[in-house]
Chains A and B, each alone.
Chain A
Amino acid sequence: MEFKFSEENLQKIASVQKNYPDKRSSIMPVLYIAQEQNGWISHEVMAEVAHLLEITESEVYGVVTFYTMYHKKQVGKFHLQVCTNVSCMLRGGYDIWNKIKDKYNLEDGGVTQDGKLSLEEVECMGSCGTAPMIAINEDYFENLTPEKVIEIIDSLK
C-alpha cells in the first residue's frame, strides 16, 4: 500500500527539521510522525521517508531495524509492553507477563485476532520504583498485580 504523509504531518516534519542542521538527521522524529499516521513502519513508509530525506531506502531500513520502538509489523490497537527486567521481576513482572500471555493467548510479538491487543516483552522502562509495570501504547501503568493488569486491559476500549 502506498504511503504519503498528510499535509498536516508534512508541516510537522518541516517544523521538526528546523531542529537539525541537515535533513538526514531528522529521520527519527520523521519516523515517529510516520508511525503515528500509519500505525507501523511498512516498507512503503520507509521508501517515502527515504524519498523525503533524500537518502537511500536501505539507510532508513537500517535505522528502523535498530530501534525497538519503530513497529516493523502491525501492532494491536493497544500495544501491551510488559517490563520483566530485574526490578520488575523481583516484584512479580513475570507473573504479569505470564498472566497476559495465558489470558489473551498471546506470544511475544503476537497480536490478538481482533487486532485489539498486541504483546511485547520490554526492557527496563524506568519504573523500577513503581514496579511491576506495563505500558499500553504511550501510557505507563505502575504498581500492578496480575489481577489489576487484567482489569486494566479488559477495560480498554
Chain B
Amino acid sequence: MPKFQIDGKEFEFKNGQTVLEVALENGIDIPHFCYHPLLSISGNCRMCLVEIEKMPKLMISCSTLAAEGMVVHTQSERAINARKAVMEFFLINHPLDCPICDEAGECKLQDYTYQHSIGESRFTETKNLKEKRVPLGPYVMFDGDRCIACSRCIRFCDEIAKSSQLTFVKRGDRVTIETFPGMQLDNSYSLNVTDICPVGALTNRDFRFKARVWDMSATKSVCIGCSRGCNIEVWVRSNEIMRLTPRFNPDVNQYWMCDEGRLKTWKHVNSDTRINGPQLRKNGTLAEVGWDEAYAFAISELKNFNKDEIGIILSSSASMEDNYMGIKFGKSVLGAKYFGYKSKVLKGSGDDILITDDKAPNTFGLELLLKSFSVRIENSFEQVMSLINEGKIKALLVIEDDILSGSEELNKTLDRLDLLIVTASNMNKTAEKAHIIFAASTYAEKNGTFVNVSGRIQRTKPAVVTSERERSLDGFEMSRLDKFGTEWDKWGKVNKIEARASWKILNGLGVVMGQKLKYNMAEEVFVDLSKTIDKLSGLDYRAIGETGVQLKLTNTN
C-alpha cells in the first residue's frame, strides 16, 4: 500500500482516498464544516486547509488526494494561521448567541471557536442581518444569521433525499438558503439537515427550546417505525424522551433516518395515555390493581377454557423476547394451538432510500420464531379471527398490538370473546375491550432484540426508567442532571410508569401457574430463544453489540 506523512507520522492509504479521509481514519482531527463523508465534496468552508510540502498554496484536505510520499502538515504555522483566519471570517457575521442557541453543546462552530480561533474579535462593524425563524418546512426552522453557507443541507436534499428543495440564493455575504417561495422543505428525510447542519441554522421544530444537549442522556437504540431498523439515539431528560437522532450504521441507515421515524415512534412513551399498572374489568369498568391480583385473576380466568378455545396474538412490532415468551407461554403453559399476528405492511408506502412498506420492526424475527416452533403462519391472524367468529376460540391473549386499529370490522369479533387479555403500553381500542390489561413497557424502557427487513438482528436498550428499575443501578445512560441532580430540584422529580416488559409479564403468569419460567433478565430469554433458532445460535447481547449482526440468509426462513 502507498504511504504518505501527516505531521511526521507515516500512514498507508488506498488510492483515491483524500488526505482528510486518511487523517480521520487515523484519529487526526483536521477541522472541517462542509465535508461530510456521504455527500459530494464542495470545498467551500476552507476550514480543512493544510500545508503540503512542494505545493505553493495551502490545500483543502477534503479534496486533495493522498499521494505516495506526500508530506502534510496540519500543525504548521501557516496551517494554524489559516484556520484562525477562516474561523475569524466565520464569526464576524455570526451572532454570539450561544446561550440561547439550540445547537450549543453540539455545535461545530462553537467547538472550533475554542480549539482554533484567536479568542477575540477584531470586528468592530455592524453585523449583517438575515432572516431569522424561517419555517423552511413542517419540521425544520432556519436562522439565516447563524448559517455558515456550508451547503451540507442543500447537498443532502439533492443527493440523499433526491429532492432538490433547498437552494442558495443571492451572492456574496448576502447568500442565504431558501425554498422556492410558497414551497416547503417537506421531503420524508428533511430533519436530517438539522443533524448535519454544523451550526444552529437549521433546528428541529419539534425539539427546539425543549432541552439543552448536555442535560440529556443519549441511549443507543433502534427505531421501531418500520422494518428498516434505523440505528438511533434516544435523548432523555428527566426520564422523558426529548428527541431521537440517527446513529451511524453503514449497513443499515448510514447517518440518516426518516422524519416519520424520528417524530412519531416515541411520543407514546411520554404520553398521558400510558397504562400505569395492571387493570381488571370489574362490573363493566376497568380498575387499576396490583400485579399479584392481576396475575391471579388472569390465571383463574384462563383455567375456564380448554386449550382449543385459546388464541394468542403476537406482534411484529414486539421484540424477539416478548414474542418468544408469547409462544412459549401459549404452547407450554396454556397448550394453545392458534397463534397469529397482524401484518402491518402498507403496500407502496416505502421508498428506495430507507422507508419500507412494512411498518413493523420485527416481522422477520417473529417469522423466524414461529417457524422454529413449527407454528403455521399463513393467514394465521385471519384464521384466529374467523375461529372467534365461529365461536371456537373463546379466550384471546393479545401481546402488544392494537388489532382493532384500522380494522373496525373486528369490533364485533372481539365482542364474541369471553375473555380478552392484553399487554399494552398505552390505552387503545383493543385494550378498551379487554377484561385484563397488563401494563407493558415500551421499546424505550427495556432490552430487546429486533430483526430488520434484511435479516439483521439489532438491540434496543432502555432509555427511560419504569417503576421497577433505577437509572443509576441498572446501567442506564446518564446525563449530567441524572448524575448530579437531586430530588429537590425541578429536574430530579421524574415520572416513572408502573409497567413491565411483556416477556416479564408472561413469565410472571407462568410462574404463578407453577411452570419453570424463571427469567430475570431479557438477555436470559434471548439466550434461550437463540438456542431454538439455528440462525441465532451462539449470539448474545454482547455479540449483537451496538450495530447488530447480519444473520445468514442462505436457507429460506
Contacts and interface: CB of A to CB of B under 8 A. Distances in A.
A59 B164 CA distance: 7
A21 interface: no
A50 B164 CA distance: 12
A58 B164 contact: yes
B183 A58 contact: yes
A58 B179 CA distance: 6
Contacts of B284: none
Interface string A51-66: 0000111111110011
Interface in B170-184: 170-171, 178-183
B343 interface: no
A59 B182 contact: no
Given A58-B165, A61-B167, A66-B170, 16 more contacts: A46-B180, A47-B180, A56-B164, A56-B165, A57-B180, A58-B166, A58-B167, A58-B178, A58-B179, A58-B180, A58-B183, A59-B164, A61-B181, A65-B169, A65-B171, A66-B168
Contacts of A99: none
B181 A43 contact: yes
Interface in B152-167: 163-167
Interface residues of B, number: 15
Nearest to B180: A57
A56 B170 contact: no
Contacts of B166: 58
26 contacts: A43-B181, A43-B182, A46-B180, A47-B180, A50-B180, A55-B164, A56-B164, A56-B165, A57-B183, A58-B164, A58-B165, A58-B166, A58-B167, A58-B178, A58-B180, A58-B183, A59-B167, A60-B180, A61-B167, A61-B169, A61-B178, A61-B181, A65-B170, A66-B168, A66-B169, A66-B170
Contacts of B183: 57-58
Contacts of A65: 169-171
B171 A56 contact: no
A62 B181 contact: no
Contacts of B170: 65-66
A62 B167 contact: yes
Q: Which 9 A-B pairs have the closest CB atoms?
A: A62-B167, A57-B180, A65-B169, A58-B180, A58-B167, A56-B164, A61-B180, A65-B170, A43-B181
Interface in A11-61: 43, 46-47, 50, 55-61
A138 B484 CA distance: 71
Contact of A66 (B164, B171, B178, B180): B171
Nearest to A65: B169
Contacts of A56: 163-165, 180
Nearest to B169: A65
A58 B178 CA distance: 8
Contacts of B164: 55-56, 58-59
Contacts of A60: 180
Contacts of A46: 180
Given A43-B181, A43-B182, A57-B180, A62 B168 contact: yes
A66 B165 CA distance: 17
Contacts of A58: 164-167, 178-180, 183
Contacts of B171: 65-66
Interface string A85-113: 00000000000000000000000000000
* Most chain B beta carbons < 10 A, residue from A59, A65, A66: A65
B144 to A, nearest CB: 14
* Most chain B beta carbons < 10 A, residue from A58, A62, A66: A58
Nearest to B167: A62
A76 B50 CA distance: 50
A52 to B, nearest CB: 15
Contacts of A47: 180
B202 to A, nearest CB: 15
A57 to B, nearest CB: 4
Nearest to A60: B180
Contacts of B165: 56, 58
A66 B182 CA distance: 20
Contacts of B167: 58-59, 61-62
Interface in B82-101: none
A147 B180 CA distance: 44
Contacts of B169: 61-62, 65-66
A32 B110 CA distance: 44
Interface string B196-234: 000000000000000000000000000000000000000
Contacts of B181: 43, 61
A122 to B, nearest CB: 14
Interface string B499-525: 000000000000000000000000000
B390 to A, nearest CB: 56
Contacts of A62: 167-169
B134 to A, nearest CB: 14
A84 B470 CA distance: 73
Contacts of B180: 43, 46-47, 50, 56-58, 60-61
B150 to A, nearest CB: 16
A59 B166 CA distance: 8
A66 B176 CA distance: 11
Nearest to B182: A43
* Most chain A beta carbons < 10 A, residue from B171, B179, B180, B181: B180
A144 B178 CA distance: 41
Nearest to A47: B180
Contacts of B178: 58, 61
* Most chain A beta carbons < 10 A, residue from B165, B167, B179, B182: B167
Nearest to B168: A62
A97 B154 CA distance: 39
A46 B168 CA distance: 15
A59 B171 CA distance: 15
Contacts of A59: 164, 167
Nearest to A59: B164
